[in-house]
């Protein structure tokens, strides 16, 4: 069995290392054809060295190739894993430092909010180019997208390449369930769960062990630990009745209740601007891995990594049946969220492909928050598709955290400043300032 697996943005070396470790952990994928692509020569060379060292450690014998030419890399692909970050660390810093001057607090800035909006806008042109290449040289391949903002990117691809097979993959649901099970001291492999919503704001709708609802055990654990109550998603769970599937830092940005208020930032131990530090740590990790490669021909494999893309590939290649959480365009899957935008739902994998499962209505309070989340998603995508800079400002105006913090004049000024700062990374029709 020798599928061709292409990693776009392979210079994100630590993530590439985790993905390849998981791929090579499946004996059936040990001889896969792995093609690495990046636009940075040094990072691509590092990624190839990582791939060879990881394969050696796993005892796998894949064919490993690398190319700076994306179209050549994609030629004949069966699976395309997208992990690009357009603008890299410098763009991330701009997304935080400029809004901070306006008094706007962000923690991660990669999903909705001003950071998510502009990350999406600078990612869309590259996504469109990847989709065009795939339609021409590997039209039957699956695009497995990890790049954020997930909901925006999957929604945008519906417009840019409606015939492309796309799954958006994120580990937030898995690690949420692992963390919840650890809190109540129940083995993860003994529980069943049902989660749905939107990426980074889905909800644990059911969580059971042997038919027993586990939420009461979580309630007891929270009641016994005052420090546990000082977390955003625990606070949201206590008020809404369903646990959200992303970290507290992420979750704080998607609602109007927390980041504006210094007392809440302190009460809930929020680290404003956290992602800048994470991005800096990623740069340091890249340097560390390069140094490690200089002294070793094999690299230890992270046995705790459980990424979805390797599971998708394994199931589609072997017929092994699995259920994962995946991001797809809503077409009646969640009936009280709008169609045509990306939602995150349980998805069955087998030899015939990926089969998103119908969820029906979410609890009304959860659906109401998801609809608020999807406002900036829909408007940002429409801004790019229609080439309408006014819709960029509209997306920012309806964002919950921005609307709670800034005046409309400040929102427009901030959008203008970020438009200039990101320049030609943005779609050409959206690169100008705009008077109200």
User: Catalytic positions, please?
Assistant: 171
User: Pairing between strand 212-213 and 201-209?
Assistant: antiparallel
Whether the Cβ atoms of residue 272 and residue 105 lie closer than 8 Å to each other: yes
Angstrom distance (rounded) from CA 383 to CA 386: 5
- Closest-CA residue to 201 (of 127, 265, 113): 113
Whether the Cβ atoms of residue 153 and residue 341 lie closer than 8 Å to each other: no
Q: Is 65 helix (H, G, I), strand (E, B) or coil?
A: strand
Q: Is 195 helix (H, G, I), strand (E, B) or coil?
A: strand
Question: 265 Cβ partners below 8 Å, 6+ apart?
Answer: 105, 258, 259, 272
* Longest pairwise C-alpha distance within the chain: 61
- Closest-CA residue to 293 (of 85, 16, 3, 5): 16
∠ CA 226-228-231, rounded to 5°: 115
- Closest-CA residue to 143 (of 294, 330, 9): 9
Report CA dihedral (245, 271, 381, 333) to the nearest 10 degrees.
10
Q: Which residue has the tokens 């492909």?
A: 353
Angstrom distance (rounded) from CA 28 to CA 46: 26
Strand partners, 325: 346
Q: Is 430 helix (H, G, I), strand (E, B) or coil?
A: helix
Residue 273 DSSP label: T
Whether the Cβ atoms of residue 68 and residue 45 lie closer than 8 Å to each other: no
Q: Which residue has the tokens 């945008």?
A: 156
Angstrom distance (rounded) from CA 358 to CA 146: 23
Alpha helix stretches (DSSP H) within 211-299: 215-223, 232-240, 248-252, 262-267, 274-294
């Amino acid at each position: 069995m020798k599928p061709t697996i292409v990693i776009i943005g392979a210079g994100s070396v630590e993530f590439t290392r985790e993905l390849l470790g998981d791929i090579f952990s499946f004996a059936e994928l040990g001889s896969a054809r792995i093609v690495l692509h990046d636009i940075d020569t040094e990072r691509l060379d590092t990624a190839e060295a990582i791939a060879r060292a990881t394969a050696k450690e796993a005892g796998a014998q894949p064919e490993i190739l690398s190319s700076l030419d994306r179209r050549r890399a994609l030629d004949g692909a069966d699976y395309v894993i997208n992990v690009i970050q357009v603008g890299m660390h410098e763009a991330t810093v701009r997304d935080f430092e400029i809004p901070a001057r306006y008094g706007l607090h962000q923690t991660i800035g990669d999903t909705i909010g001003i950071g998510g909006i502009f990350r999406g806008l600078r990612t869309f042109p590259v996504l469109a180019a990847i989709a065009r290449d795939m339609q021409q040289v590997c039209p039957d391949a699956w695009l497995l997208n990890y790049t954020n903002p997930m909901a925006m990117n999957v929604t945008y691809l519906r417009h840019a390449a409606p015939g492309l097979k796309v799954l958006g993959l994120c580990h937030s649901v898995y690690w949420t369930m692992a963390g919840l099970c650890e809190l109540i001291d129940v083995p993860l492999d003994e529980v069943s769960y049902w989660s749905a919503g939107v990426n980074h704001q889905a909800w644990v709708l059911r969580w059971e062990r042997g038919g027993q609802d586990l939420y009461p055990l979580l309630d007891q654990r929270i009641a016994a630990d005052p420090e546990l109550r000082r977390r955003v998603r625990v606070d949201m769970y206590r008020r809404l009745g369903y646990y959200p599937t992303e970290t507290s830092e992420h979750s704080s940005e998607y609602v109007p209740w927390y980041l504006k208020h210094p007392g809440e930032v302190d009460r809930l131990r929020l680290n404003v601007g956290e992602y800048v530090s994470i991005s800096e740590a990623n740069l340091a990790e890249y340097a560390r891995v390069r140094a490690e490669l200089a002294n070793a021909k094999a690299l230890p494999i992270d046995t705790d990594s459980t990424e979805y893309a390797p599971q998708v590939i394994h199931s589609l290649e072997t017929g092994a049946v699995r259920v994962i959480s995946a991001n797809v365009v809503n077409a009646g899957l969640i009936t009280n969220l709008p169609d045509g935008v990306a939602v995150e739902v349980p998805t069955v994998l087998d030899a015939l492909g990926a089969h998103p499962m119908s969820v029906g209505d979410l609890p009304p309070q959860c659906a109401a928050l998801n609809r608020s989340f999807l406002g900036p998603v829909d408007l940002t995508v429409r801004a790019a598709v229609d080439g309408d800079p006014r819709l960029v400002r509209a997306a920012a105006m309806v964002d919950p955290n921005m609307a709670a913090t800034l005046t409309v004049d400040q929102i427009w000024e901030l959008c203008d400043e970020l438009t200039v700062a990101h320049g030609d990374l943005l779609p050409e029709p959206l690169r100008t300032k705009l008077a109200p």
